[in-house]
Amino acid sequence: MHGASEGWTAGTIKKRRAILDIVVEWFGPERDMGQIGRKDAAACKKAVLLQLPANRGKSAATRGLPLREPIRVQGVPKIDSATVNAYLSACKNLWVWAEAHGHVSEVLFEGLAVSKRSAASKNRAPFAQEALTKASTVLTDPGSKFYEKQNHRWATLIAMFSGARLNEVCQLKVDDIKEVEGTWIFDFTEQGDETKRLKTSAARRRVPIHSHLIELGLLDFISSPRNKGHDRLFPDYTYSEKSGYGDKLSKWFNRTFTPALGIKSDAHVFHGLRHTFATRPAQADVETERMQFIIGHERQGVTHQVYMKEGYTLAQTKDAVERFIIPRGDAAAP
- Altogether, the residues listed in the chain come to a count of 334
- Sort strands 177-180 and 205-208 into parallel, antiparallel or unpaired: unpaired
SS (H, E, C) 252-283: HHHHHHHHHHCCCCCCCCHHHHHHHHHHHHHH
- Identify the weakest region by mean pLDDT among 105-114, 134-143, 292-301, 313-322: 292-301
Q: For the residues 257-268, what does the mean pLDDT come to? A: 90
> Which amino acid does the sequence have at 45?
K
Mean of per-residue pLDDT scores for the chain: 86
The alpha helices in the chain, defined as continuous H runs, are 3-6, 10-27, 38-47, 81-100, 119-123, 129-140, 150-162, 166-170, 211-216, 218-221, 223-227, 247-252, 258-261, 270-283, 288-295, 302, 314-322
Q: Residues 6 or more apart from 325 whose CB is under 8 A from it?
A: 280
Q: Report the alpha-carbon distance of residue 92 to residue 38 in Å, rounded.
A: 11
Q: Report the alpha-carbon distance of residue 48 to residue 70 in Å, rounded.
A: 10
Q: Report the alpha-carbon distance of residue 306 to residue 116 in Å, rounded.
A: 30
pLDDT in tens, 96-127: 999 999 999 999 999 998 875 444 444 567 89
Q: Report the alpha-carbon distance of residue 319 to residue 183 in Å, rounded.
A: 12
DSSP 93: H
Position 252 pLDDT exceeds 60: yes
Position 315 pLDDT exceeds 50: yes
DSSP-assigned beta bridge partners for residue 232? 173
> Which amino acid does the sequence have at 124?
R
Q: What is the pLDDT of residue 70?
A: 83
- Identify the weakest region by mean pLDDT among 93-102, 231-240, 284-293, 307-316: 307-316
Residue 140 zone, left/alpha/beta (φ > 0; ψ -120 to 50; rest): alpha
pLDDT in tens, 158-180: 999 999 999 999 999 999 999 99
DSSP 59: -
Q: What is the pLDDT of residue 121?
A: 45
Q: How far is CA 137 from the centre of its chain?
A: 25
Answer whether 146's CB lies under 8 Å from 136's CB: no
Q: Report the alpha-carbon distance of residue 226 to residue 221 in Å, rounded.
A: 9
Residue 262 zone, left/alpha/beta (φ > 0; ψ -120 to 50; rest): left
Q: Report the alpha-carbon distance of residue 173 to residue 157 in Å, rounded.
A: 16
Q: Report the alpha-carbon distance of residue 155 to residue 250 in Å, rounded.
A: 10
pLDDT in tens, 28-47: 999 999 999 999 999 999 99
pTM of the model: 0.66
Q: How far is CA 150 from the centre of its chain?
A: 23
